[in-house]
Structure 1
């Protein structure tokens, strides 16, 4: 019974996260990002169970993280992704925040901005090193 409840809660939280963050980033028309928050959240769905419950990081999560980072081609993409993640982190518990912050190191996928609820997304670098 608890597993079913946890799955319903997880899906509800993911749906809420997509709805809440879907309109957060509205870049000016001359600098439209190709990365959208709902698209980014959808790409990172394989990480959701780990983020919410802990345990082992699924290999599909690391692949999803790499795919998401590889898609950040422009500064606007990186700033949009940064803002999306920042908004999502504001709703995370302390334990979830720790797990999210550990993913780039665990997966050996460098993220081009600090994963922090207080990051200044306007200072995201122009290119990924």
Structure 2
């Protein structure tokens, strides 16, 4: 069963229109229980409302890098779907998401360091 997630709900206030900050991304990840959803291989659709203007790479990394590094880029792209209220919003967010994916694939942290050293992480840098 696919779950629809309205990203706007995870802004700090209704006056904000931009997602910012790694701690805020991590908090959103915890609220959404993405670790559990990743274990269950659940498919999620993230809906981006008109009027939202973007997502800072730090927020993206806090929210999604763990999934990309643990499950691989192909799994992330297959299970985490982004839908947009309009084309302008889509244009704004697609660039931020692609940049975030590239940053996640370059990221080294205590959780993935050994896997990277062993060459076990599916980087798919060309996707």
Q: TM-score range by the shorter chain?
A: 0.3 to 0.5
Q: Which has the higher contact order (CA 8 A, sep 6+)?
A: 2
Q: Which has the higher helix share?
A: 1
Q: Which has the higher strand share?
A: 2
Q: TM-score, normalised by structure 1?
A: 0.36
Q: TM-score, normalised by structure 2?
A: 0.36
